Amino acid sequence: MGTIQIKKVERTVTTGKTGETRQKAKKTYGKIIYRGTLNLADMAEHIMKHGTVYTEDVVIGVITKMKTCMQEMLADGYKVKLDGIGTLYPKVTSKGVDDAKDYSAQDDITRVGISFLADQSKKSIYKASATRSATSLSTQLWCELTGEDDGATNAPSNGGTTGGGTTGGGSSNTGGGDNGGGDDEPDEN
C-alpha cells in the first residue's frame, strides 16, 4: 500500500460533561493531506497500468455502464454491494410527525440521498483495522514543508503516527475512537 500524509491541526474544543462547568482547551489532531481527486479517466488509466488487456475506452465503457445500472437499481430501492469495496444504498431523512396517519412521504421527506458503507468482511482491506495496519501514516512531509518539529525520528510508522499525535479522518461508519478533529468530507485539493 502507500503512505497517507497527515498534517497537525490545532483546534479549540469544549471539555467536560453537559450541565457541569465546561472549559475550552486547545488540542492537536491529525488531518489527511489529500493528494487530489481521481476521475473516471484517471482510474481507467491506472487500471490499464496493472497489466489489463483492455484498452482505456473499454474500461471507461464498463465503469460507465456499471454507474448507469447502479443508479437504476438504487432508484428502485435496491442496495448495491460491490464485493471487496462496499455497499451503496438509498437513504432518506424525514420530519417526524406526532400521528402516523398524518405522515406523508411527499411532504415529510426532507432529503433523499445515497450512503456508502465500506466492506466490513473479515478479508476486506477497507475495514478500519486492516486499513490502519496496511497504511503508513506520516507527518514527516508536512513538518518539512512548514518547518515544524514533529518531535519524532522522522520515520513514518506502520499503523500509527509519528510524533505521538492522534490521527483523525475517517467516517462514522469506521469507528476509530475519539478522533475529535476528523473530517467526514475531504477538503478540495
pLDDT-derived band at 118 (thresholds 50, 70, 90) equals confident
Q: Give the pLDDT confidence score for residue 51 in this predicted structure.
A: 81
Average pLDDT (152-156) is: 42
Buried-state track 86-107, b at ≥16 Cβ within 10 A, e below 16: bebbbeeeeeeeeeeeeeeeee
More confident residue, 75 or 133: 75
State yes or no: pLDDT of 1 exceeds 70. Answer: no
Query: How many Å apart are CA 137 and CA 165, to the nearest integer?
Result: 11
Residue with cell 412521504: 105
Query: Whole-angstrom Cα distance, residue 180 to residue 168?
Result: 7
Instruction: For residues 37 and 41, give the distance between their C-alpha atoms in angstroms, rounded to a whole number.
Output: 11
Going by C-beta distance under 8 Å and a sequence separation of 6 or more, which residues neighbour residue 121?
84, 127
- Which pLDDT score, from 0 to 100, does residue 134 have? 60
Return mean pLDDT, the chain. 74
Q: What's the CATH number of domain 3-164, 1.10.340.70, 2.60.40.10, 4.10.520.10, 3.90.1300.10? A: 4.10.520.10
Reading the block at residue 140, the C-alpha cell is 514527516
Angle between helical axes of 56-75 and 40-49 (0-180°, round to 10):
130
> In the chain, which ranges are continuous DSSP H helix?
40-49, 56-75, 105-108, 128-134, 140-146
Which amino acid is present at 176?
A: G
